[in-house]
Amino acid sequence: MSFLRNCWYIAGWADEFKECSLTPRTFLNEQVVMFRDSKGVLQALQDRCPHRFVPLHLGRLKDDRVQCAYHGLSFDCTGACVHNPHGNGVIPRAARVRKYPMEERHGFAWIWMGEAERADPSLICDFSPLDPKDFYVGKSYLHVKANYMLETDNILDLSHIEFLHASSLGSNGVAQGTTEVVQEGETVYSKRSTSGERLTHDLERLRGVPAGQLVDRWLDVRWNAPAVMLLETGLTPAGQPRESGRSVHVAHVFSPETESTSHYWFGIAFPRALGGEGERLARENIDWLSHPFTKEDMPMLEAQQRTIGDQDFWSLKPVLLASDAAAVRVRRTLDDMIKQEQSKGVGQGQ
């Protein structure tokens, strides 16, 4: 399987990375070690010493240098070996590791896995609706034993919530909703609307809806390559215009670890203007969402991955439904982007 390389991947929530701490993580089959330098700037290096191929995260971080735990070679933030404690101290020219560009934006840490000279921070997707300066953000993370595109399909076709999440997120009106798919350049939008829904008791409570009141709901997803999605979900009393309703933003972002495993970060935001109530809502909502995502979505996706195995998705000739329109558009868009990149000679180890 090929991955898109010249793009920004989510590496984690920005506040995951503490000073004096080495954080290992694998992206696109490449082992990476991440840390904050003495100025608080995020750094990322290949997590493999070129001497005897020991993971560098087993060592220690001191004075902005990562020291290998095995033989003591030290590497600076550029990836160059700057200290050899053996013999006359001469540093072999090949003693260096790859450096990966990193950026911090809107509460996320981003990593560029392709050609370093093309790492343009202006290409980072807008997640200002979850910026911690303005919002309380409930945050969570899952490690999923499934390909990241299966997870993308899951978010882009939210008709599944009527069935997989019948007692939590769904209702008997979701699958009959309407979906509009819009593409602007390499950004794809999936806009799903339902009418006359009766929500589950939990959703009524969390959204402040009187028991039994019918609502119109919208579930609008913005997708950017490779698997970075922002969901705006909102509701109004049935028959009322959207402008009279209220909505929240939910981040669903996936980074491939390998062909069959992935990282999943999700978060939900409430304005800081709400004060303590906003903080409570963020905490309560993320705790509640974690259950269907962990106990319902994840087992389904992992079972799906086990069934597919290492077979190509399209080679299995999936039956397509109307609700698949956005997911199919995204898969084809991403396939085209990868093919264009490969035609220019971009590959692993760039």
Contact at 8 Å (CB) between 223 and 187?
A: yes
The CA distance from 96 to 290, in Å, is: 41
Give 54-123 as a DSSP string. --GGGSEEETTEEEPTTT--EE-TTSBEEE--STT-PPPTT-B--B--EEEETTEEEEE-S-GGG--GGG
- Residue 255 burial by Cβ neighbours in a 10 Å radius (0-12, 13-18, 19+): buried
pLDDT tops 90 at residue 171: no
Write down the pLDDT at residue 350.
53
CA of 342: how far to CAs of 3, 168, 258, 315, 329, in Å? 10, 42, 19, 21, 20
pLDDT-derived band at 349, boundaries 50, 70, 90? very low
What's the alpha-carbon Rg for the chain, to the nearest Å?
Answer: 22
241 is written with which tokens?
């215009």
The CA distance from 298 to 315, in Å, is: 24
Residue 154 β-bridge partners: none
The letter for the amino acid at 55 is P
pLDDT tops 70 at residue 208: yes
CA angle 209, 214, 215 (to 5 degrees): 70
Residue 212 C-alpha from the chain's centroid: 35
The CA distance from 183 to 222, in Å, is: 10
- CB-CB neighbours of 310 under 10 Å: 9
CA angle 49, 51, 53 (to 5 degrees): 50
pLDDT tops 60 at residue 348: no
Which residue in the block uniquely carries the two structure tokens 């191929």? 53
Q: Which residue did the predictor score with more confidence, 105 or 201?
A: 105
Write down the pLDDT at residue 19.
86
Write down the pLDDT at residue 236.
95
Mean pLDDT over 32-45 rounds to: 98
Q: What value does the mean pLDDT of the chain take?
A: 95
Question: Which conformational region is residue 20 in: left (phi greater than 0), alpha (psi within -120 to 50 degrees), or beta?
Answer: left
pLDDT-derived band at 174, boundaries 50, 70, 90? confident
pLDDT in tens, 270-297: 999 999 999 999 999 999 999 999 999 9
Give 198-230 as a DSSP string. E--HHHHHHHTPPTT-EEEEEEEEEEETTTEEE
pTM over 0.75? The answer is yes
Q: How many residues does this entry show for the chain? A: 350
Which residue ranges form the domains of the chain, and what is each CATH number? 8-123 (2.102.10.10), 128-343 (3.90.380.10)
HSE (CB half, 13 Å, CA atoms) of 276? Answer: 0
